[in-house]
Amino acid sequence: MTEFRMPSLGADMEAGTLVEWMVKPGDRVKRGDVVAIVETQKGAIEVEIFETGEIEQILVDVGAKVPVGTPLAKIRDAPDAMAGLDVAPAKEALAASLAPPPAVAPAAPRLALPSISAGPMPPSVGRIRASPAARRLAQTQKLDLATITGSGPLGAIIAQDVEGSRAVAPLLEKKRAEPGLDLEAMRAAIAAAMTRSKREIPHYYLEHQVDVTPCEAWLAQTNATRPPDKRLLMGALAVKAVALAAHRFPTFNGFYREGKFELARGVHVGVAIAIRGGGLAAPAIRDADRISCDELMGRMRDLIQRMRSGRIRSSEIADSTITISSLGERGVEALYGIIYPPQVALVGVGKIVARPWIVDGAIAPRSIVTLTLSGDHRANDGHAGALFLAEIGKLLREPEKL
Amino acid sequence: MRKGQPDRLTTGLMQQIADRSEPVELSYREAVRAAIRDAMIRDERVFLMGEDVGRYGGCYAVSKGLQAEFGPERIRDAPLAESGFTGAGVGAAIAGMRPIVELMTVNFSLLALDQILNSAATLRHMSGNQFGVPLVIRMATGAGRQLAAQHSHSLEGWYAHIPGIKVLAPATLEDARGMLWTALQDPDPVLIFENIVLYNMMGKLAADAGPVEIAKAAVRHAGRDVSLITYGGSLWKTLEAASLLAAENIEAEVIDLRSLRPLDDATIIASVSKTRRAVIIDEGWRSGGISAEIYARIVEQAFWELDAPPGRVCSEETPIPYPRHLEQAAIPQASKIVAAAKSALGRGG
């Protein structure tokens, strides 16, 4: 028996609100499954489980806000769960063959007792069943009721359903309509983390200009035969190069906690993603040094999409071991970031600019990117930082090897 | 005024109340009697008048022993003529007395309805505020004692329709003990409805229990999932339902209205706004009852807070039957309240 606890989804998180359980008692889970959605100042996070076993008991109800570390559910360990499974497969198979396909909506209309219902609700022909409170909440938060699953009487959407789905709604939509609470909370979280960083971390900054003409050429060649949604972008190469460099220079990859630096086991690169309206988050691409550029690109696309729709997994938020920040094509030539504690390094990637460059003794137009490093001087030094930046530059010179 | 000898029970009770600081164990009936006796002692203008209240001691034994203590002028037996003696009470109140008129049950109060509505409730208005009617009328209400259809109805909701009077429904020992004096201080008529199944209810009452305010509803049990709104005899069934619901992880909030006129809208609306769901429990009939009025106010004032249509548990629309099983089937019960609450939560099926 183990306990699944409210995870810390960032150095600044003290408590989280449980907005949705994705599992129920009796469900079997394995490491990496998303079991709950937790609302933090950063928005809704899909929380993964690290155990394999069976959900024994749910300890915290939806809507409750509990401190980090609070047990949320009891997990029966895999061996126990397996013990009870001896006959299950056969039973399940039988059930599967007999059972009609499950209804799409688990909250299919339930019959209310005639003793109280003020009359049956009209059949929902082109009309969404939602309580007045749910409608009012959805209205103020600019949510579309059609995107919300109801759990109330006759399957109606009730206030709690709207509250639970708040985070599912596009954050930018909310911001566009009016200053949304989530963005304000996110802003507060950013303020807290950045203030802490600048108060505690002795930053130093380095800058290095890299010729990425080979990258551009290689990308053009690689993408020529690909459909748009399979194409690689410069950003993926940059993340891969940073990840590989961080693997080789481990003092940039880890956490400074309680007065000492801890090396991280894997390289999980946090990619800063701006959210229109003032939000910012840096979900992680796990093991970015070990996956192919194509897979990395796919994950970045997925992350950006889910970030915009507010669905990010716990491991992606909490696990970053180093952060990369890029202001993109519309950005500036160089940016000097603030380290996200307890990490110890942040790599800034400026926009690609065409510059006269000396190549083989002659001036030639080349595509240049300015890389910067913000380092935590408690964990690493400028000398190592220079080598680290140079390594990234070197890696970008041979994109085909990334 | 002749001083009589109080009966042993009442004396002992009052002695306990006077001498001790610890709670005393007593019945609802005894709490009402203590309230009457206290008022008689405090104010010489107070007298009790009704059928069988004197020598017989009250048809529900509420005034047992009081005539011996206070004499037949202040504990007055009235003929079987509700309109007549209620009218006498109205006149006495206008003339400066503080009468307590007891009507045997709300069913018989209909014979005095002209005096209550056309005289008591309207005279301040008709006289241009020259005089009011500081009259208290107590009466029994409700089913559950197999007294059949002419003695078992719950018509207090009808009286709550009338401007110019207050309608109280004490459900607890504290209110049975405390509402009477406050009602006697009111410059206008106050009707107090005592549910007949409560008279034998035993409980503990603080030794220094005294007058209570009569304008506010009370949250008898706090909860966040559904508001159960009730009064009088149904309060205890509703509290039982709340504990049954608690066993299913449903936290019900139980509101004891205490006053049916005026209704404490603020307490009702605050609770419903919190829980987003309401079930009204009323031993009166559903059609046109006080439950309908409460329902309407919830929808008028808290529509946008609701997560489900409010529910109602009322008496079946039939004269209250005599056979016990039919009588019990006709009135609200904890099981019906539980079902209604679960239905409001979408857990009915």
Q: Are strands B75-77 and B46-50 parallel, antiparallel or unpaired?
A: parallel
Distance of CA B58 to the CA centre of its chain: 17
Q: Please report residues of A whose CB lies closer than 8 A to that of B279.
A: 116
Q: How far apart are CA A217 and CA B265, in angstroms?
A: 75
Residue A282: is its pLDDT beyond 90? no
Q: How far apart are CA A388 and CA A371, in angstroms?
A: 11
For chain A, what are the domain ranges? 2-98, 202-401
> Closest Cα of chain A to B287: distance in Å?
13
Q: Please report residues of B whose CB lies closer than 8 A to that of A149.
A: none
Q: Please report residues of A whose CB lies closer than 8 A to that of B329.
A: none
- HSE on the CB side for A324, CA within 13 Å? 27
Residue of B nearest to A138 (CA): B304
The structural architecture, per CATH, of the domain B8-205 is 3-Layer(aba) Sandwich (3.40)
Output A148 or B143, whichever has higher pLDDT.
B143
SS3 A325: strand
**Length of chain A, please?**
402
Percentage of residues of chain A with pLDDT beyond 70: 79
Q: Give residue A310's pLDDT band: very low, low, confident or very high (50, 70, 90).
A: low
The DSSP result for A267-323, as a single string, is --EEE-EEETTTEEE--EETTTTTS-HHHHHHHHHHHHHHHHTT-EEHHHHH--SEE
Q: Are strands B226-230 and B252-256 parallel, antiparallel or unpaired?
A: parallel
Residue of B nearest to A153 (CA): B346
Q: Is the peptide bond before B262 cis (omega within 30 degrees of 0)?
A: yes
User: Of A15-24, A99-108, B89-98, B324-333, which range is least confident?
Assistant: A99-108
In the CATH hierarchy, which fold is given to the domain comprising A2-98?
Answer: OB fold (Dihydrolipoamide Acetyltransferase, E2P) (2.40.50)
Q: How far apart are the first and last CA of chain A?
A: 43
SS3 A369: strand
What is the pLDDT, as a whole number, of residue B300? 96
What is the pLDDT, as a whole number, of residue A88? 39
Residue A14: is its pLDDT beyond 90? no
- B308, burial (CB in 10 Å: exposed 0-12, middle 13-18, buried 19+): buried
What is the pLDDT, as a whole number, of residue B21? 63
Residue B44 structure tokens? 């010489």
* Subunit contact A116:B349, Cβ cutoff 8 A: no
Q: Please report residues of B whose CB lies closer than 8 A to that of A118.
A: 309-311
Amino acid at A291: I
Q: Are A397 and A245 in contact (CB under 8 A)?
A: no
Q: Mean per-residue pLDDT for A132-151? A: 85
From the list B51, B69, B102, B151, the catalytic residue is B151
What is the pLDDT, as a whole number, of residue B320? 97
> Which of B343, B345, B347 to probe by mutation at the A interface, max A CB count within 10 Å?
B343
Output B271 or A35, whichever has higher pLDDT.
B271
Among A111, A113, A160, whose Cβ lies nearest the Cβ of B340? Answer: A113
CATH no., domain B218-344: 3.40.50.920
Q: How far apart are CA B261 and CA B160, in angstroms?
A: 5
- Residues of chain B within CATH 3.40.50.970 domain(s) are 8-205
User: Of A263-277, A310-324, A329-343, B186-200, which range is least confident?
Assistant: A310-324
- Residues of chain B within CATH 3.40.50.920 domain(s) are 218-344
SS3 A112: coil
Among B309, B336, B348, whose Cβ lies nearest the Cβ of A118? Answer: B309
Q: Please report residues of B whose CB lies closer than 8 A to that of A145.
A: none
Residue A89: is its pLDDT beyond 50? no
Distance of CA B8 to the CA centre of its chain: 27
Residue of B nearest to A158 (CA): B307
User: Of A42-56, A283-297, A307-321, which range is least confident?
Assistant: A307-321
SS3 B235: helix
Residue A26: is its pLDDT beyond 90? no
Q: How far apart are CA A401 and CA A367, in angstroms?
A: 19
Number of Cβ pairs < 8 A linking chain A and chain B: 78
Residue of B nearest to A151 (CA): B346
In order along its 349 residues, chain B shows pLDDT tens digits of 444 455 555 555 555 555 556 899 999 999 999 999 999 999 999 999 999 999 999 999 999 999 999 999 999 999 999 999 999 999 999 999 999 999 999 999 999 999 999 999 999 999 999 999 999 999 999 999 999 999 999 999 999 999 999 999 999 999 999 999 999 999 999 999 999 999 999 999 998 899 999 999 999 999 999 999 999 999 999 999 999 999 999 999 999 999 999 999 999 999 999 999 999 999 999 999 999 999 999 999 999 999 999 999 999 999 999 999 999 999 999 999 999 999 999 886 5
Residue of A nearest to B347 (CA): A153
> Closest Cα of chain A to B300: distance in Å?
12
Q: Give residue A13's pLDDT band: very low, low, confident or very high (50, 70, 90).
A: confident
Q: In DSSP terms, which residues pair with B50 in a beta bridge?
A: B77, B102
What is the pLDDT, as a whole number, of residue A83? 43
Residue A63 structure tokens? 């809507």
Contacts of B88 (CB under 8 A, 6+ apart): B49, B78
Q: How far is CA A115 from CA A120, B232, B281, in A?
A: 11, 21, 12
Q: Please report residues of B whose CB lies closer than 8 A to that of A159.
A: 276, 307
Amino acid at B243: S
Among A112, A133, A151, whose Cβ lies nearest the Cβ of B304? Answer: A133
Among B310, B339, B348, whose Cβ lies nearest the Cβ of A111? Answer: B348
> Closest Cα of chain A to B23: distance in Å?
39
Among B307, B339, B342, whose Cβ lies nearest the Cβ of A152? Answer: B307
CATH 3.50.50.60: does it fit domain A202-401?
Answer: no
> Which of B282, B304, B337 to probe by mutation at the A interface, max A CB count within 10 Å?
B304
The mean predicted confidence, pLDDT, of chain A is: 79
> Which of A60, A111, A116 to probe by mutation at the B interface, max B CB count within 10 Å?
A116
Q: Please report residues of B whose CB lies closer than 8 A to that of A160.
A: 307
Instruction: Name the one residue in this structure whose structure tokens are 């990010």.
Output: A312
What are B's interface residues with A at a Cβ cutoff of 8 A? 276, 279, 303-313, 336, 339-340, 342-349
Q: How far apart are CA A65 and CA A16, in angstroms?
A: 5
What is the pLDDT, as a whole number, of residue B270? 97
Counting other chains too, the contacts that B109-113 makes at CB distance below 8 Å and 24 or more residues apart are: B109/B82, B109/B137, B109/B139, B109/B155, B110/B155, B111/B81, B111/B82, B111/B83, B112/B82, B112/B83, B112/B86, B112/B87
What is the pLDDT, as a whole number, of residue A166? 57
SS3 B70: helix
- pLDDT for A365-377, tens place per residue? 999 999 999 999 9
User: Of A23-32, A111-120, A236-245, which range is least confident?
Assistant: A111-120
From the list B69, B82, B283, B327, the catalytic residue is B82
* Subunit contact A153:B308, Cβ cutoff 8 A: yes
Q: How far is CA A275 from CA A119, A300, A308, B341, in A?
A: 46, 15, 7, 43
* Subunit contact B304:A156, Cβ cutoff 8 A: no
- pLDDT for A159-215, tens place per residue? 888 887 754 444 434 333 333 336 777 777 788 888 889 989 999 999 999 999 999
> Which of A111, A115, A149 to probe by mutation at the B interface, max B CB count within 10 Å?
A115
- HSE on the CB side for A243, CA within 13 Å? 26
B151 given a catalytic annotation: yes
The DSSP result for B280-324, as a single string, is EEEEEESTTSHHHHHHHHHHHHHGGG-SS--EEEEE-SSPPPSSH
- pLDDT for A247-279, tens place per residue? 999 999 999 988 899 999 899 999 888 776 667
Residue of A nearest to B339 (CA): A113
What are A's interface residues with B at a Cβ cutoff of 8 A? 110-113, 115-118, 131-136, 151-156, 158-160
For the complex shown, is ipTM > 0.95? no
Q: Please report residues of B whose CB lies closer than 8 A to that of A117.
A: 309, 311, 343
B153 given a catalytic annotation: no
Q: State the SS3 of A150-162.
A: CCCHHHCECHHHH
Residue A281 φ then ψ, to 5°: -150, 160
Residue A216: is its pLDDT beyond 60? yes
Q: Please report residues of B whose CB lies closer than 8 A to that of A131.
A: 276, 306-308
Among B306, B336, B339, whose Cβ lies nearest the Cβ of A133? Answer: B306
What is the pLDDT, as a whole number, of residue B296? 98
> Closest Cα of chain B to A296: distance in Å?
45
Q: Are A369 and A397 in contact (CB under 8 A)?
A: no
Residue of B nearest to A119 (CA): B309
Q: Please report residues of A whose CB lies closer than 8 A to that of B335.
A: none
What is the pLDDT, as a whole number, of residue A106? 38
